[in-house]
Amino acid sequence: MSYPHDDSLTADEKLWGMLAHLLTLLGYVVTLGQYIAPLVIYLVYKDRSKFVAFHALQALFFQLLVLAVSIVLVIFVLVTLGLGVILAIPALIAICIAVLVYTIWAAIEANKGAWFELPIAGRWARATLGL
């Protein structure tokens, strides 16, 4: 699948677009890092670069979406008195794999200067920024 590339972007913009995605992976080592890193990048670049702001915001929205789905799975396990764990564990493993794959894919595309959209989060970020 091909995504539109912006040849007018600077190397700095491409780098920060990529880092907005990759730094979310640090959040799994540093508490709340998956939310703080893209939020800080967004706040710094929101008036300087639509490209960086877009990638940072969608990285943040993607992580929030993962959090919401994880909370729903935990609630499902609690409501089913633990029996839902049979479905929740494979679902959580699949979510972890998807997060890793989509994060790396988005980072690579951002580094190429592409306006790559993550599922759901990309449209949400585009609408929020009015793109």
Task: Please determine, for residue 25, whether its predicted confidence score (pLDDT) is greater than 60.
Answer: yes
Q: How far apart are CA 46 and CA 32, in angstroms?
A: 21
Residue 96 lies in a domain: yes
Q: What are the structure tokens assigned to 5, written together?
A: 């590339």
Residue 2 lies in a domain: no
What integer is the mean pLDDT of 115-124? 91
Residue 69 is classified by DSSP as H
* Residue type at position 68: A
The better pLDDT of the pair 6, 44 is held by: 44
Residue 35 lies in a domain: yes
Residue 1 lies in a domain: no
Convert the pLDDT of each residue in 37-70 to its tens digit: 999 999 999 999 999 999 999 999 999 999 999 9
pLDDT confidence of residue 3: 65
Q: Number of folded domains in the chain?
A: 1
Residue 32 lies in a domain: yes
The verdict on pTM exceeding 0.85 is yes
**Can you give the residue range of the structural domain that contains 77?**
11-125
Residue 46 lies in a domain: yes
pLDDT confidence of residue 30: 85
Which residue in 88, 94, 107, 85 sits closest to 38, CA to CA? 107
Residue 38 lies in a domain: yes
CA distances from 21 to 35, 72, 88, 91, 117 (A): 11, 24, 26, 22, 12
Residue 88 lies in a domain: yes
